[in-house]
Amino acid sequence: GAGVSQTPSNKVTEKGKYVELRCDPISGHTALYWYRQSLGQGPEFLIYFQGTGAADDSGLPNDRFFAVRPEGSVSTLKIQRTERGDSAVYLCASSLPSGRKYNEQFFGPGTRLTVL
Amino acid sequence: AQRVTQPEKLLSVFKGAPVELKCNYSYSGSPELFWYVQYSRQRLQLLLRHISRESIKGFTADLNKGETSFHLKKPFAQEEDSAMYYCALSGGAGAGGTSYGKLTFGQGTILTVHP
């Protein structure tokens, strides 16, 4: 079956603009994660969804970042008033429900965001 | 707070030589540790996890709670092992105190295996 997909693969925008990044998880995966990977760094956790609700958004850096998953499948990460420091690769991952044990997270190819 | 440290950003070895990628962690509970790998132009994928105690592509990793380490080892490196390797830790309390698999990654080590 298809893996996690993310669109667009690349996004170039200007400082101050609004962007949306989309993630399509593996069918049947109720857990969905967003990570951000800056140049030379490992991925950093942003937010986790279990179903439609955000179970933990403690990794979102500030209130310019927001994510939704209205039907429990596709998720959109939204960034308002982009800044040059937001430039990074944004990774999405999905897994079977994560309760008291870890289920393998399957990663998408990422969206490379460049803010000029 | 949980943290993962990979002290080597770059590691170069020759084909057939042993290789060890270092990983140290800090975590207040009982951690689950993983190694993820990213080959050139491919997506991040799980290589192995400590609770499985298995060898994947000849790689093994032992969790040493006393030294808070989870080093990745392979006795005879191959050219196809060249990749970026990330050590990661699972932890994080959701509602009710359950762990849900949030991953904390190290900075990564680029392994290059020369012919």
* Cβ–Cβ gap A43/B103 under 8 Å: yes
pLDDT classification of B95: cutoffs 50, 70, 90: very low
> What CATH superfamily classification does A5-111 receive?
Immunoglobulins (2.60.40.10)
Please identify among residues 60-99 of chain A the ones whose CB lies closer than 8 Å to any CB of chain B: 91, 95, 98-99
At B26, list the tokens: 């800090």
When scoring B44, B46, B51, B52 by the number of chain A Cβ atoms within 10 A, the one with the most, hence best to mutate, is B44
Confidence (pLDDT) at A19 = 98
Confidence (pLDDT) at B96 = 41
* Cβ–Cβ gap B102/A45 under 8 Å: yes
* Cβ–Cβ gap A48/B46 under 8 Å: no
Where do the domains of chain B lie? 3-93+100-114
Residue B97: phi and psi, rounded to 5, are: 80, 10
Where do the domains of chain A lie? 5-111
Contacts of B29 in chain A (CB under 8 A): none
DSSP-derived secondary structure letter, A63: T
Confidence (pLDDT) at A7 = 97
* Cβ–Cβ gap A99/B98 under 8 Å: yes
Positive or negative torsion for Cα A98, A102, A108, A114: positive
CA-CA distance, A97 to B58, in Å (whole number)? 30
Q: Looking at A5-19, B2-16, B28-42, B98-112, which range is the least confident one?
A: B98-112
Q: Which residue of A has its CA nearest to B40?
A: A109
At B83, list the tokens: 């990749």
Confidence (pLDDT) at B94 = 46
* Cβ–Cβ gap B107/A33 under 8 Å: no
CATH of domain B3-93+100-114: 2.60.40.10
CA distance A37 to chain B (A): 10
* Alpha carbon distances (Å) from B103 to A63, A85, A108: 22, 22, 15
Range B57-77 burial, b when 16+ CB lie within 10 A, else e: eebebebeeeebbbbbebeeb
